[in-house]
Amino acid sequence: MPRGQKSKTHARQKRHRARGETRAYEDAQETADETSETAEEYSAASQSQPGPESSSPPEEPQKATPTATLILSSSSSESDESSDEESEPSMQKEYPYEANLTTTVLHQDMIARRSVILLQHLLYNYNLKQLTTKEEMLKVITKKYEDDFPEILRKASEKLEDAFAVEVREVNSSQPSYNLISKLKLPNNGRIRAGKGLPKTGFLMSVLGIIFIQGNCASEEEIWKILKKKKIYPGKKHRIFGEPRKLMTQYLVKLKYLEYRQVANSDPPCYEFLWGPQAHAETSKMKILEYLAKINKTTPSAISTLYQEALKDEQERAKARDEDNTDTTDQSTEGSPEKSPAASSTPVDT
**Domains of the chain and CATH, by start:** 35-182 (1.10.10.1200)
**pLDDT class of 42 with cuts at 50, 70, 90:** low
User: What pLDDT was estimated at residue 336?
Assistant: 54
Give the number of other CB atoms < 10 A from CB of residue 282: 13
State yes or no: pLDDT of 165 exceeds 70: yes
| Cα separation values, 320 from 316, 317, 326, Å | 6, 5, 10
Angle between helical axes of 285-295 and 201-213 (0-180°, round to 10): 110
Q: Would you place residue 57 in the very low, low, confident or very high pLDDT band (cuts 50, 70, 90)?
A: very low
pLDDT at 1: 59
Closest CA to 283 of 188, 226, 206: 206
Range with top average pLDDT, 52-61, 192-201, 204-213: 204-213
Q: For the chain, what is the mean pLDDT?
A: 77
Q: Is 152 exposed, middle or buried (0-12, 13-18, 19+ CB in 10 A)?
A: buried
Residue pLDDT, tens place only, 228-261? 988 999 999 998 889 999 999 999 999 999 999 9
Sequence-distant contacts of 246-253: CB under 8 A, at least 24 apart: 247/192, 247/200, 247/203, 248/207, 248/223, 248/273, 251/192, 251/193, 252/192, 252/204, 252/207, 252/276
How sure is the predictor about 37, in pLDDT bands with cuts at 50, 70 and 90?
low
What pLDDT does residue 324 have? 77
The percentage of residues in the chain with a pLDDT greater than 70, rounded to a whole number, is: 64
**pLDDT score for 167:** 96
Higher local confidence (pLDDT), 85 or 311: 311
Counting Cβ atoms within 10 Å, is residue 334 exposed (0-12), middle (13-18) or buried (19+)? exposed
- In tens, the pLDDT along 129-162 reads 999 999 999 999 998 999 999 999 999 999 999 9
Give yes or no for residue 105 having a pLDDT over 90. no
**Helix, coil or strand: residue 166:** strand
Q: At what angle do helices 134-141 and 96-127 cross, to 10 degrees?
A: 130
Q: Find the Cα–Cα–Cα–Cα dihedral 209, 210, 213, 215, rounded to 10°.
A: -110
- pLDDT (tens digit, 9 = 90+) per residue, 13-22? 555 554 544 4
Query: How many CA within 13 A on the CB side of residue 46?
Result: 24
d(CA 244, CA 224): 10
> Does the pLDDT value for residue 272 go beyond 60?
yes
Q: Is pLDDT larger for residue 301 or for residue 18?
A: 301
Residue 183 has pLDDT above 60, yes or no: yes
What pLDDT, on a 0 to 100 scale, did the predictor assign at position 3?
57
Q: Stretch 77-98: mean pLDDT, rounded?
A: 48
Strand pairing category for 258-262 and 271-275: antiparallel
Degrees to nearest 5, angle at CA 344 with 339 and 347: 145
Residue 41 has pLDDT above 80, yes or no: no
Q: How many CA atoms does the CB half-sphere of 198 hold within 13 Å?
A: 28
pTM over 0.75: no
